[in-house]
Structure 1
Amino acid sequence: MTEYAAIVLAGGMSRRFGDEKAIAKWNDKLFISYSLEAVNHVEQTIIVTRDDLLSKVPQLANVQLITDAEAYKGKGPLAGIYSGMTRAEAEWYVVLPCDTPWINKTIMKQLQAYCDGQFEAIVSKVNGCMQPLIGIYHRRLKEKIKEKLEKNELRMKQLLSECIVKEVHFSEEKLFANINTKEEYENLLRMDHQ
């Protein structure tokens, strides 16, 4: 068992974005590349995506590409986290989405500094707003997540309300911003030309 495994969530439907966010480009790099760079210090990385994206997401050395466990397909981030946990044996699971191009290794290491066994989840909180998809989850939560999936209780905040959580406060919102719409993406591209 490794100490850490990273789970990059890239299986969302991207309805508001209108295209596949994981493979959208910024500065000649795929969005998912920024997430992978933020966790490249972690022993093992898993990308959880949809069946129809398997051939579109680049296959990289030391990165395992999987889909949600069959029983939980389409059940959102909890399904992705659980699926990643079933594919890698680790003490802690470093979780982040594929659509946060400013996320970086420094942030992830700051979260990792609190992985001492006292907490079940370490999550980022930016200006009072919890960011549960940029966090670290202990292996003890695997069965609790499975129970939530079985009961169709899919909200991350509901899971966290039943856990011992360490909130790590950050003030720079931009680093945690995710790109959800074409308009946000176009604004991001425009920033490059200013």
Structure 2
Amino acid sequence: MIIIGAVMAGGKSVRFGKPKAFAEFDGSPFYKRAVDALTPHTEKVLLSIRDEQEEMFGEIDLELIKDLPPYKGCGPLGGLYAMMKQTDGDAYLVLPCDLPLFTETAVSLLLNQFEEGVMAVVPEVDGVLQPLSALYLKGCLPYIEKQLQQGDYRMTGFLNEIPWKAVTDQELGVSKDVFLNVNDQKTYHDLIQKSTSLGKEGDNGAD
């Protein structure tokens, strides 16, 4: 099975105040952390962007996938549609660019949840689905297209039309922190502060 890594980086980052994809954590920009998490488990990793972001990402050695008309600006569902429409993958491992704690191990555990007969595996945390950090088979494409045609841009809408599997963070064997979505500066600064504090504790423990 050919698995394509799909990093969703087309958001406008309105609440964050600047492009989240380039915010740094632990020495790497957010988008690069997502790429690194996906790379060991995929044939290749692609970056989903808006047209106006092409220059911003121009020097990055990754294939950029822009939204396709008539579904430009339709959010991550439009980005996933463009990915599936323009590439030959059998399955797509999707990650947003603003989950800096989602590691290669978490990706591996998510992949392990795939089973015969399902077309999507979607994590669930505290009863809330996480459709932007999930696995989708190429067979989802016609259902995604149908939903876009209806003007419904929710990432979870088409799940009603397909066999799929929800997996909790406990079933995955990961901490809820893995799904920490950095949407604003406060969350970002709290993350940096917590990471710095943990680092200092580790240094003290080594003395």
Tell me the TM-score normalised to structure 2 length: 0.86
Q: After TM superposition, give the deviation of residue 26 of structure 1 in Å.
A: 1.7
Which residue does 2:48 correspond to in 1? 48
Gaps of 5+ in 1: none
8 Å contact from structure 1 (residues 23, 56) kept in 2? no
3-state SS of 2:156 partner: helix
Q: After TM superposition, give the deviation of residue 87 of structure 1 in Å.
A: 2.1
What pairs up with 1:133-172 in 2 under 5 angstroms? 133-171=132-170, 172=175
Q: 1:176 aligns with which of 176, 179, 197?
A: 179
8 Å contact from structure 2 (residues 122, 131) kept in 1? yes
Q: Do residues 6 (structure 1) and 9 (structure 2) align?
A: no
8 Å contact from structure 2 (residues 118, 165) kept in 1? yes
The 2-side partners of 1:95 and 1:192 are apart by 25
The 2-side partners of 1:116 and 1:109 are apart by 14
8 Å contact from structure 2 (residues 147, 157) kept in 1? no
What pairs up with 1:60-139 in 2 under 5 angstroms? 60=61, 63-139=62-138
1:166 aligned partner, one-letter code: K
3-state SS of 1:132 partner: coil
The 2-side partners of 1:193 and 1:110 are apart by 27
The 1-side partners of 2:105 and 2:150 are apart by 36
Which residue does 2:193 correspond to in 1? 190
Give 1 or 2: higher strand fraction.
Answer: 1
Deviations 1:79-105 (A, max 9, x none): 011111122111111111000000011
2:23 aligned partner, one-letter code: A
Which residue does 1:59 correspond to in 2? 60
Which residue does 1:37 correspond to in 2? 36
8 Å contact from structure 1 (residues 7, 45) kept in 2? yes
Q: After TM superposition, give the deviation of residue 143 of structure 1 in Å.
A: 1.0
The 2-side partners of 1:53 and 1:103 are apart by 24
The 1-side partners of 2:23 and 2:14 are apart by 14
1:8 aligned partner, one-letter code: V
8 Å contact from structure 2 (residues 147, 153) kept in 1? yes
1:31 aligned partner, one-letter code: F
The 1-side partners of 2:154 and 2:127 are apart by 18
**After the TM superposition, which of the residue ranges 134-143 and 44-53 deviates more from structure 2?**
44-53
Number of aligned residue pairs: 191
Which residue does 1:18 correspond to in 2? 17
**After the TM superposition, which of the residue ranges 109-118 and 12-21 deviates more from structure 2?**
109-118
The 1-side partners of 2:154 and 2:14 are apart by 18
1:51 aligned partner, one-letter code: D
Deviations 1:32-59 (A, max 9, x none): 1111011012102110011222222352
Q: After TM superposition, give the deviation of residue 189 of structure 1 in Å.
A: 2.2
3-state SS of 2:132 partner: strand
Deviations 1:122-176 (A, max 9, x none): 0111232211111010111111111111111111222222221111221421001
